[in-house]
Structure 1
């Protein structure tokens, strides 16, 4: 079971497209949270923010309380060098935010010198004005020569949730371009891998992301953010439908509560043929129509293509 913990909203970059809602109140890690985490079977604890390295004292409390857990941290990389010894000691998977190129929207480049750390992943945000996947991958290749290690490519979409980040919302034209690129790149990956046994590392993260969605098999009321394998908490131990907005709390009856929410706001989800992969998408975005269109088209295409290879005896 994975638990994602929203450590707080403080950040040392404050990217313009970020959809988190800031909090004035910054609670400490509660005993309730620690007790909730101790109930989980084989837990993987993921720390997010804001910028979670600004809360390292609280993170260290949780790590000390759950010595057998696995740990993941998603960071912008500003404080990475300071905490690499701690991450190494506790075998963290470190996921760094990097959008490619000059990383202009984030205002910081985490890949300017060699990084001696074995468990490193990269999260890339796609948004209006930043959707050229091949250009992004090319910039990854350039960074690999600097940091002396390979970089994965796991893209996700920015969610426009307020007037401040509206300009970063994907347009219909963006959606069509993203879909064409995904089909070309992931389609070629599957042919090379399943037909010829060749794994194209550049596209593997995109394929893996879609495969995990295919295998998620969400039932109605499970969402991408809260499901049978994933719970989300703030530091007080409260669970929410979305940790970035945090306006809808969940109880132990979270699936029933989310079913009710979907029925009220997005009744089309109940009969959607790709709900099992999508999990309702982002329930907070103001550009839901575009994101829903991308998910329907992309997941339907992947399901058909993957099952074609699987039916032919090639896919894993």
Structure 2
């Protein structure tokens, strides 16, 4: 199981697409449950948990991170951070982390526009500090938000060129004021989907040389097409993944701190409520690849049906674009040029999205 632990509802940044800190009424900035209490709740339910520290910005409360790590010695640890406060956590604890997700959207002009002036430089410095001085053997993943100013191929190539092990992205859609469904579709047709095809071609070319690029949406979709399909939303929210909020509520989704549907239970009483997908997703022919995409969007319909349809259309076109190359990748697997196990990607181990 994947467990997100919110160490605080506060954030030291105020990015354009999320607005920064959670309202403290919904996610208190100082945890109201002790780290060992949360660790005990997890340990009683999961002998081999994957625990990711989350926020807000989790490194605003490094003490909480340290105490949970001490209380769960057999867990696999990860963290999703904006990368500006990495020195708050001592190096010896970084060396126990398996996966680090650093939030960065591409080159400086894109990252700093959406996340704030100077953020790009600080994230790159964090990457180099973790790799160099700390000697962290962790997988370091660039966590992108893709928006109107993004250029997918350029931005992914840039981040891989910086030395990130992998890149994943989420589309800034459905709960944003940056654009609406029609503008999003126009941008997707003119920019995003052509770049998905360019990434596919680059991915296949590298595979033919025996190298599997860490482009997580491609890895995740090819896993579903060639290895094994998904039986739920790929991030696992509400079934294989839960979040513990700072006041002790257990949530289906870590970003849904104020939404009533997202409360799955409480660490004092256990998990008592389930989640479900829309009927249209349960019967969709792409369900085994898409999995339903994102649980949050099933309940929070800011863009309405038109918006849900728009994102579905782009998701289907993305799958079909990648599907074209699936036979070639299967040939390379059979020939031993690349390994089948490299495509058996488990997003729960990295807390990533494989369907943007």
Task: Indicate whether the TM-score tops 0.5.
Answer: yes
RMSD across aligned positions (CA): 3.1
- The 8 Å contact of residues 32 and 236 in structure 1, kept in 2 or not, is answered as no
User: Is 2:246 the counterpart of 1:235?
Assistant: yes
Quick one: structure 1 residues 174 and 208, their matched pair in 2 at CA, closer, same or farther if it must change by over 3 Å?
same
Partner of 2:115: 106
- Rounded to whole Å, the distance in 1 between the matches of 2:60 and 2:282 is 40
Q: Count how many residue pairs are aligned between Structure 1 and Structure 2.
A: 296
Indicate conservation of the 8 Å contact 1:36/1:237, yes or no: no
Is 1:134 aligned to 2:153, yes or no?
yes
The residue that corresponds to 1:29 in the other structure is: 33
Q: What is the Cα deviation at residue 106 of structure 1?
A: 0.9
Structure 2 match to 1:296: 316
Unaligned runs of 5+ in 2: 266-270, 341-356
In 1, the alpha carbon distance for the partners of 2:309 and 2:323 equals: 21
> Shift of the alpha carbon at 1:160?
4.0
Aligned CA distance change for structure 1 residues 11 and 258 (closer, same or farther; 3 Å)? same
Q: Residue 264 of structure 2 is aligned with which of 246, 250, 255?
A: 250
**Which shifted more, 91-100 or 297-306?**
297-306
TM-score by length of 2: 0.72
1:304 deviates by 5.4
Runs of 5+ unmatched residues, structure 1: none
Q: Does 1:279 align with 2:284?
A: no
CA shift in 2, pair 1:311/1:268, >3 Å: farther
Deviations 1:252-304 (A, max 9, x none): 465xx423xx3xxx331121112223232232353433222222222244345
Contact 1:21–1:244 at 8 Å: present in 2 too?
no
Once the two structures are superposed, residues 87-125 of structure 1 have per-residue CA deviations (whole angstroms, 9 ceiling, x without a partner) of 334234221111122121111121148421332221111
**Post-superposition shift, 1:79?**
0.7
CA contact (8 A) 1:192 1:198 kept: yes
The alpha-carbon distance between structure 1 residues 185 and 97, as it changes in their structure 2 partners (threshold 3 A), is same
Given the alignment of the two structures, is residue 217 of structure 1 paired with residue 229 of structure 2, yes or no? yes
Contact 1:20/1:244 (<8 A) preserved: no
